[in-house]
Amino acid sequence: HTPLALAIMATCGSNCCDGDFDKDDVTTRTIESCLPFPLPDEILEDIVPKAKDFALLHGAGMRYKNKYDADTLQFAPFFLLPSGFPRREFERVVKLQPIINILMHKIAHDHEFLRSALEKTIKVDEFTRRLWDIYTTVREEGVAQDMSLGLVRSDVMLTKCQAGCCELCQTPPYVTVHQVEVNTIASGFGHMGPISGSMFRCDYFYSVPSQIAQQVEINTVASSFGALAARISLMHRYVLGELRKPELLSHLPENDALAGLCGGMISAWDAYGCPKAVILFVVEDVTYNICDQRFHEYEIRRQRPDIHVIRRSLTQIGQQGHLTSDKRLIITCAPAVSDYESCPAYVVLFRAGYEPGQYHTEAEWEARLTVERSKAIKSPSIQYHLAGTKKVQQEIARPGILKKFLSDSEAKLVSQLFTGLYTLDMSPEGDQAVQMAVENPERFVLKPQREGGGNNVYGEEIRTVLEKIRDSKEREAYILMDRIRPPIQQNYLVRAHQAATLVEVVSELGIFGTILGNAKDIQSSKFAGHMLRTKLSSVNEGGVAAGLGALDSVFLF
């Protein structure tokens, strides 16, 4: 391959992006694993139980979903080895995170932008309209708390570098030629050349076109897995150590997601300076992802023994919460914390409240309104929640919009993360997008205004859904997005009570960020760690709880 590869390198000049390679062609969409697969059976038999024990004993667990038992934990499904991710792209998205935080913060504080982005959506999407109503109520009565705490997670997937991306790839996009080995002695045939005066032979192989990261979405509410991600990173360090591969550890970046996110909550608490205040976690009726949530609580306690965390569902807040005349949020506390009698909750973290099913009755909506009206610093505040909707994300991606919120150079960097996003409103532009999607459904993802996975529409079903609603305003509840085709790799999926299986997978990297500030001032905007979720390449969405996706960490190459 060597002469051919070099010839392509040589002829691929500045116009190298003009070709017509097929970005959906699977044969060129692979990433090598960090160790040669398959692993010998005797190695697997040794390492899998060790990895499971590590996960269990470090709390990388969840509660049983199908057979709920509050007293029992199971390790969360995970991949045995870290999955490959290009270092250049990892560093790029890490560096961008503070800017993305600021972008979300500014959007959340731009009423006119939110209004125009969401005005059509809220006419047809009941859930978004209810959030909007809360926002309007709070705005009209005067915001009691002008500070917001953003704990955001920007999710990206890799895709093949295509026309226009050369600046990012910094290599010709068609073919990246990786050097496998440099032989300095007894070099045989091949490309000959001098390195430090000695003769060498480079063995090249045809590899994937350069991969670049593209954003799947930005989460501003209930960004989860910060704690478990850090534990899986540790497990992969342990596994590589047990496999006697310590030299690979330098490919595994540190992951302080838990400390970073909790640091964000603590700085919000400090911004208040009220020693009696608690941090209130708004949780589901039943929390399956309990380890992830509890570790946040314990980490806050570890960093700051003086801060108390309480957990309440929206239903409980409806029963136990009220506002004082000066809008402090008071939660009637259980005996264990009766010192506080009733707790002024000055920081509120929503780990629930992002999906309609979590509002059983009007009481839960009332509870949400009570929290939003209060003086507590919320993560997210209602405007941050709205800024994280899929519709707003699509509107941000319109040409010229980023420049309203960021400097020209920052806007350019962020825009390089975006893939095609299309409005489906009742305009000629929307008509065109509908047409495009109906003609080529496999190229797109159809997204409603929902969070938490499992809500998007793919493939043939896009056609079915759009054909039903193409002439009605109902389509304005959705947005359309280019489908990202990430590179495929192999890894061993480890699930409870099942043999580890070598499967073909794709990964999604989440970058956490924290930001604290009000409309005028931003006190801090930070990168706060990362997480990797990997799923079977054959499924559209692989929820960790559903068992089709699993926790993973990055192996930078």
**CB distance 482 to 458 below 8 Å:** no
The answer to the question of residue 455 lying near ligand ADP (CB under 6 A) is yes
455 binds, among Mg ion, ligand ADP, none (CB under 5 to 8 A by kind): ligand ADP
Q: How far apart are CA 554 and CA 81, in angstroms?
A: 9
Nearest to 493 by CA among 482, 481, 504, 501: 501
**Is 541 among the residues that bind ligand ADP (CB under 6 A)?**
yes
Residue 406 tokens, joined: 């960021």
Residue 221 CB, shortest distance to ligand ADP, in Å, is 9
Per CB under 6 A, does 217 bind ligand ADP? yes
Q: Rule CB under 5 A: say whether 451 interacts with Mg ion.
A: yes
- Strand ranges, E, within 361-488: 377-379, 421-423, 444-448, 457-458, 478-482
Segment interacting with ligand ADP, rule: CB under 6 A, options 24-32, 311-319, 402-410, 479-487: 479-487
Structure tokens at 516: 């604290």
Q: DSSP states of 16-38 as a string?
A: GGGS---TT-GGG-B---SS-SS
Site for ligand ADP contains 110 (CB under 6 A): no
Residue 299 contact partner, candidates Mg ion, ligand ADP, none, CB within 5 to 8 A by sort of partner: none
Q: Give, as ranges, the residues between 184 and 223 that touch Mg ion (CB under 5 A).
A: 217, 219
**What minimum distance in Å lies between the beta carbon of 105 and Mg ion?**
18
Active site residues: 153, 217, 219, 224, 390, 447, 451-452, 533
Residue 280 CB coordination number (10 Å)? 27
Q: Which of 402, 481, 493, 528 binds ligand ADP (CB under 6 A)?
A: 481
3-class DSSP state for residue 13?
A: coil
> Is residue 531 at the binding interface for ligand ADP, with CB under 6 A as the rule?
no
Between CA 551 and CA 494 the distance in angstroms is: 10
Q: Does 552 bind ligand ADP (CB under 6 A)?
A: no
Taking CB under 6 A as the criterion, the residue among 52, 103, 120, 155 binding ligand ADP is: 155
Binding residue for ligand ADP, selected from 508, 510, 511, 532, defined by CB under 6 A: 508
74 vs 224 by CB, closer to Mg ion: 224
Instruction: For residue 324, give Cα distances in angstroms to 259, 356, 373.
Output: 33, 28, 11
Sign of CA dihedral 258, 259, 265, 266: positive
Residue 174: in which H helix or E strand, if any? none
Does position 348 bind ligand ADP by CB under 6 A?
A: no
Residue 511 as a binder of ligand ADP (CB under 6 A): the answer is no
Torsion from C-alpha of 454, 459, 461, 467, nearest 10 degrees: 130
Q: Does 397 bind ligand ADP (CB under 6 A)?
A: no
Instruction: Give me 321's structure tokens.
Output: 């919460």
Sign of CA dihedral 165, 168, 172, 173: negative
424 sits near ligand ADP (criterion: CB under 6 A): no
The reply on whether position 508 binds Mg ion by CB under 5 A is: no
Could you tell me which stretch among 222-230, 239-247, 287-295, 443-451 binds ligand ADP (CB under 6 A)? Answer: 443-451
- Residues contacting Mg ion: total by CB under 5 A: 3
Nearer to Mg ion, 47 or 505 (CB): 505
Closer CB to Mg ion, residue 89 or residue 217?
217
Decide if residue 125 touches ligand ADP (CB under 6 A). no
- 284 binds Mg ion per the rule CB under 5 A: no
Strand partners, 278: 308, 345
- From ligand ADP, Mg ion, none, which one binds at residue 481 (CB under 5 to 8 Å depending on kind)? ligand ADP
Query: What is the SS3 string spanning 86-131?
Result: CHHHHHHHHHHHHHHHHHHHHHHCCHHHHHHHHCCHHHHCHHHHHH
- Contact between 216 and ligand ADP (CB under 6 A)? yes
Token code pair at residue 25: 């062609």
Could you identify the residue written with the tokens 């806050």?
300
Question: Who's near 98: CB < 8 A, 6+ residues apart?
Answer: 513, 515, 525, 526, 527
Q: Which of 233, 255, 456, 534 binds ligand ADP (CB under 6 A)?
A: 456
Asked whether position 289 contacts ligand ADP by CB under 6 A, the answer is no
221 binds ligand ADP (CB under 6 A): no
| Contact yes or no for 503/495 (Cβ under 8 A) | no
State the residues that interact with Mg ion by CB under 5 A: 217, 219, 451
Binding site for ligand ADP (CB under 6 A): 155, 216-217, 445, 447, 450-453, 455-456, 481-484, 508, 541
